[in-house]
Amino acid sequence: MAGVPDHPGRDAAWNEPKYEVIGGGLVDDQPRAEPSGTGPQPEGDAVFKNAAAHAWRDARTSFSSWLFWLSCCSGVSLAAGTATGLVAWALRNGWIGNEMPAATFVVMAAFLGLPAAVLGVVWGFRHVHESLLVMLLGGALRGLALAVLALPVLLVVGIIGGGPAALAGAAVVVMVLEVALFGLLGAGCRGCFALKGPGVALATVLAAFFCVGNVVLTVLLLPGTSEEAGASVPVNIQRDDARRITTYECVGDLHPVEVAHTDRVAWLAASNPALLLGSVGAGFVPPDSDVAWVLSGLQFAADGPAAEVPCLNGVASDGLPPAMPVPVMGFAMQAGIAVLLAVLGRWLASRRLATKPWAAGA
């Protein structure tokens, strides 16, 4: 999980995380005289400009390394190769029509979220800063570099297959956000421990959960969501362009049906980077596409059984609560855990500095 160093050929200490002094004054509580020329702390735009300048200087250490760009190219190649193989397998089994370039474009766009998350954790682990804003902006800059390499490949595949170019733009935005958020997560894992080893283990477990584990857990929990409920007859049904039922009224008595409350567990998978990116891109793919259901499937599950069984318990469409969009759920979960871990890492690092100042850079 520690990944490849940003600066090959230098001494081992070069790649150690550089911690700025956190919690200055915790050990020596005597009043300090401000250095000459030190004035009030910057506010508003000045704070953001200073953070952006620090983030740019931090990101340049990555941009100057060929191993950084090799990691980016490897991530894009892995997403493209996996998408091509998966679509070819589905085509051979007759699951989709003969539109391999378009399907590859859609699936590749979704899969780009996975290398963005993994590389974000690795880069965040290696570039720890006292300011959360600096780490967030630095991660966004690295994510932009990854997206710059992925965009031409996506556009070429999209042009060949006739896919929507807007999907490539959506993928770029999500990739930048994923690298930034998972960068905070990686930095938090590093800050929680004085030694690298436990931090690497925690970062590996969290990255594995977000990229694979949450989907596996959701699938395992799905059978337990089935139960018997009552349904009545829907009338005055209206559908959208994808032929999904949007509005209806209910008449008649209830009759027993078995339904699966997928909405109870779908939120777990919403934080998966690939499914999240796919859910964002679902609005840019024509509803009659053979792979459109792949992108909108998680949102369908999050909507619950009412999307498949209208008039569940006699409730008409206007009585249903509005569905929470999957991208909102996913980003909220990722951001919440990342920020919580980053703040915890800063707090633990400050405690180590207060109790053992000589161990601050361990």
Q: Which residues of 158-266 form beta strands (DSSP E)? A: 226-239, 245-260
> Looking at residue 111, what is its pLDDT?
92
Whole-model pTM: value is 0.81
Q: What is the DSSP letter of 33?
A: P
Q: Sign of dihedral through CA atoms 222, 276, 187, 65?
A: positive
Domain ranges of the chain: 12-19+49-220+334-359, 227-328
Directed axis angle between helix 326-355 and helix 132-161, to 10°? 150
The CA-based dihedral angle spanning residues 59, 65, 66, 72, taken in that order and rounded to the nearest 10 degrees: -30
Write out the H or E segment, with its range, that includes residue 344: helix 326-355
C-alpha–C-alpha distance, residues 184 and 335, integer Å: 9
Q: What is the pLDDT along the chain (362 residues), one digit of tens a residue?
A: 444 445 444 444 444 444 444 444 333 333 343 443 444 555 667 888 888 888 899 889 889 999 999 999 999 999 999 988 888 888 787 776 666 677 788 889 999 999 999 999 999 999 888 788 999 999 999 999 999 999 999 998 888 877 788 888 999 999 999 999 999 999 999 999 989 999 999 999 999 999 999 999 999 998 888 888 888 888 888 887 767 777 888 888 888 888 888 888 988 999 999 999 988 888 787 776 666 777 778 888 888 887 778 888 888 877 788 778 889 999 999 999 999 999 999 999 888 888 876 555 45
